[in-house]
């Protein structure tokens, strides 16, 4: 079955350090890919999306993600973590040929930023 | 601009009681509407989606049902709640092909 995997349910970084959150998809055809962020007790907010244009996608709050077909990955990065980045991050995919309405979400990665 | 409202924000219900969660969208017409449930460490599970009034697709068999009585209103219901229905419920909307979904603030349901 097609799926999306987020490696690491919890990532902890120091303020100012590089943030790297991993996401891998399983599909022979590149899907549309998304990263969402969820702050405590809130809904999800879109950070960025990849829809087969540029492989390096820039999002809000200084985040970016690179689509790598050879690695079936779409990892999320930020050069320098800020305390306000502490949240849960979800990778999501929409597969070509699948339902036009469904996104499949990963299980999420909780990012902790230490002072 | 478009906004999405969910209420209540928090709900505590006894086992066996009914449930009604409401979601409304403003500022757009004929949106696709979604209900998700989020459990800790398990990501988001799509429960229902709707592409129009009265059109409901169920993704998983469960103790819940959904209805869309108006274009921008989506309701999640249960006749008798189970302990396993506890969780964080999120409503979302999209337009067109649904590439981007926009989420409400969620309802935290505790069934005791």
Share of chain A above pLDDT 70, in %: 94
**What is the pLDDT averaged over residues B23-46?**
89
Please give the pLDDT value at position A2: 67
Residues A57-70: pLDDT tens digits? 999 999 999 999 89
Of B42, B49, B108, which is closest to A101 when you measure between CB atoms?
B49
Name the more confident of A55 and A36.
A36
Written as six digits, the tokens of A32 are: 């549309």
Of B43, B49, B105, which is closest to A107 when you measure between CB atoms?
B43
Share of chain B above pLDDT 90, in %: 74
d(CA B24, CA B1): 14
- Report chain A's mean pLDDT, rounded to a whole number: 90
Closest CA to A19 of A100, A72, A83, A76: A76
Closest chain B residue to A10, measured at CA: B41
Q: Residue B75 CB: number of other CB atoms within 10 A?
A: 19
CB contact under 8 A, A43 and B94: no
Closest chain A residue to B48, measured at CA: A102
Name the more confident of A85 and B99.
A85
| Res. A1: pLDDT tops 80 | no
Of B34, B98, B105, which is closest to A100 when you measure between CB atoms?
B98
| Res. B75: pLDDT tops 70 | yes
d(CA A52, CA B59): 28
- Lowest mean pLDDT: which of A52-56, A87-91, B5-9, B74-78? A52-56
C-alpha distance from B48 to closest chain A C-alpha (Å): 10
- Interface contacts A/B by beta carbons within 8 Å: 57
Query: Hey, is A58 helix, strand or coil?
Result: strand
Please give the pLDDT value at position A115: 94
Closest chain B residue to A91, measured at CA: B43
User: Which residues on B lie below 8 Å from A34 (Cβ)?
Assistant: 100
Please give the pLDDT value at position A61: 93
User: Which residues on A lie below 8 Å from B44 (Cβ)?
Assistant: 44, 90, 105
Cβ neighbours of residue B84 under 8 Å, at least 6 residues apart?
B63, B111
Direct distance between the N- and C-terminal alpha carbons of chain A, in angstroms, rounded to an integer: 41
| Res. B9: pLDDT tops 70 | yes
Residues A7-42: pLDDT tens digits? 999 999 999 999 999 999 987 777 889 999 999 888
Q: Residue B10 CB: number of other CB atoms within 10 A?
A: 11
């Amino acid at each position: 079955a097609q799926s999306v995997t987020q490696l690491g349910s919890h990532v902890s970084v120091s303020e100012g350090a590089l943030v790297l959150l991993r996401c891998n998809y399983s599909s022979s055809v590149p899907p549309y890919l998304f990263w969402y962020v969820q702050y405590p007790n809130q809904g999800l907010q879109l950070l960025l999306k990849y829809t087969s244009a540029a492989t390096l996608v820039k999002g809000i709050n200084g985040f970016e993600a690179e689509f790598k077909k050879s690695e079936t990955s779409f990892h999320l990065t930020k050069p320098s973590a800020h305390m306000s980045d502490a949240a849960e991050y979800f990778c999501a995919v929409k597969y070509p040929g699948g339902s036009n309405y469904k996104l499949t979400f990963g299980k999420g990665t909780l990012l902790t930023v230490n002072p | 601009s478009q906004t999405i409202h969910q209420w209540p924000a928090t709900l505590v219900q006894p086992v066996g009681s009914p449930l009604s969660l409401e979601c409304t969208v403003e500022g757009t017409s004929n949106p696709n509407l979604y209900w998700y449930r989020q459990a800790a460490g398990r990501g988001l599970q799509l429960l229902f989606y709707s592409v129009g009034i009265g059109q409901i697709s169920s993704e998983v068999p469960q103790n819940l049902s959904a209805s869309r009585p108006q274009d921008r209103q989506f309701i999640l219901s249960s006749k008798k709640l189970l302990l396993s229905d506890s969780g964080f419920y999120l409503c979302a909307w999209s337009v067109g092909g649904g590439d981007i979904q926009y989420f409400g603030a969620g309802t935290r349901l505790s069934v005791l």
